[in-house]
Amino acid sequence: MSILIDQDTKVIVQGITGRDGSFHASQMIEYGTNIVGGVTPGKGGQEVHGKPVFHSVQDAKDAVGVDATVIYVPAKFAKGAVQEAIDADIPLIICITEGVPVNDMVGLYHQVKAKGLTLIGPNCPGLISPGKSKIGIMPGMICIPGSVGVISRSGTLTYEIVHALTGLNIGQSTCVGIGGDPIVGSNFRDVLALFEKDPDTEAVVLVGEIGGDEEEKTAEYIKEHISKPCFAYIVGASAPEGRRMGHAGAIVSGNAGTAASKQKAFSEAGVPVAKTLDEMAELVAKQFQ
């Protein structure tokens, strides 16, 4: 089993006629993702990779049915693209775009929650249920089906931990890159709740990073709500005070958001904290011995 997506999930690509949208649509189709069409305003009626292009998300939904949409548009158009998906009541919205203004995200975040929809991102690699479906930019060849869920704020390190797990023959149920911006549609706790309910996910790996207090809140949530084994790794332990590390949300102010505070919170919640990604994989491997 998996969470959020599987082989039957009907997916559209917003921005499918653009360079990135077209390239990643072809990669998703090759992986086996059920891409049913794409959206580019003003270009409806065309085809890309044999898939129909529609003028709007609503047109696509009416014509082919849509369970999820993935967004590959420039940052200045991302708010409008997400808004269009919200207005069409698409259950799962994945925004790959980085550089989306925080002010744009505030209103979108509350609309998504009010409607009971799910937003992954922005500034994220998307998600993959190995052997079933991938939506976004994750490399499918490094994943194998299994029972470990992965949640990460870092796109690149999502790939690194998945590769390390696969190297030890530890498969994944679903891997979710939630994004590293200050405001994202889904946090660790949102995704953990889904993994907790998934009978085929036996353990969960979390890759956090400096900045904010999401990891500390997640540690408390695990203590109260999660029965499955969890493992954590925090990126940025060597970052100088006040230094941003790539992601807009990865900035430490005073004692808040430090790697040490996050590591302590997870340890106190009974979550093993690895010093390296390889050590993380080894800790998970011991769980299944």
- Residue 30 belongs to a domain with what CATH number? 3.40.50.720
Clarify whether residues 278 and 186 are in a common domain.
yes
DSSP 276: S
In this structure, of 105-109, 232-236, 264-268, the range with the lowest mean pLDDT score is 232-236
49, part of any domain? yes
Tell whether omega for the bond before 74 is within 30 degrees of 0, i.e. cis.
Answer: no
35, part of any domain? yes
pLDDT (tens digit, 9 = 90+) per residue, 138-186? 999 999 999 999 999 988 888 999 999 999 999 999 999 999 899 999 9
CA–CA distance, 13 with 36 (Å, rounded to integer): 9
Clarify whether residues 150 and 261 are in a common domain.
yes
1, part of any domain? no
Clarify whether residues 17 and 54 are in a common domain.
yes
pLDDT (tens digit, 9 = 90+) per residue, 16-59? 999 999 999 999 999 999 999 999 999 999 999 999 999 999 99
Clarify whether residues 105 and 154 are in a common domain.
no
Of the three residues 87, 120, 153, the one that is the final residue of a domain is 120
pLDDT (tens digit, 9 = 90+) per residue, 93-142? 999 999 999 999 999 999 999 999 999 999 999 999 999 999 999 999 99
Contact 18, 41 (CB under 8 A): no
Calculate mean pLDDT across residues 227-249.
Answer: 70
Contact 95, 78 (CB under 8 A): yes
Of the three residues 92, 120, 148, the one that is the final residue of a domain is 120
Contact 187, 215 (CB under 8 A): no
Clarify whether residues 220 and 103 are in a common domain.
no
Q: What is the pLDDT of residue 250?
A: 46
Clarify whether residues 187 and 232 are in a common domain.
yes
Clarify whether residues 113 and 152 are in a common domain.
no
Range of the structural domain that residue 27 is part of: 11-120
128, part of any domain? no
Q: 225 an active-site residue?
A: no
245, part of any domain? yes
pTM for the whole thing? 0.93
Q: What CATH number did the domain enclosing 216 receive?
A: 3.40.50.261
At residue 207, does pLDDT exceed 60?
A: yes
132, part of any domain? no
pLDDT (tens digit, 9 = 90+) per residue, 70-80? 999 999 999 99
Burial 7-32 (b: 16+ CB within 10 A, else e): eebbbbbbbbbbebbbebbebbbebe
Clarify whether residues 202 and 257 are in a common domain.
yes
Number of domains present in the structure of the chain: 2
Q: What is the pLDDT of residue 240?
A: 57
18, part of any domain? yes
> Is residue 237 very low, low, confident or very high in pLDDT (cuts 50, 70, 90)?
low
Q: In what order do the strands lie in the sheet with 35-39?
A: 47-48, 51-54, 35-39, 11-14, 68-71, 92-95, 118-120
Report the mean per-residue pLDDT for the chain: 92
Calculate mean pLDDT across residues 82-91.
Answer: 98
Clarify whether residues 280 and 161 are in a common domain.
yes
Catalytic pick from 24, 163, 225, 247? Answer: 247
Clarify whether residues 158 and 91 are in a common domain.
no
134, part of any domain? no
Clarify whether residues 161 and 236 are in a common domain.
yes
Q: What is the pLDDT of residue 60?
A: 98
Clarify whether residues 111 and 164 are in a common domain.
no
Of the three residues 120, 154, 184, the one that is the final residue of a domain is 120
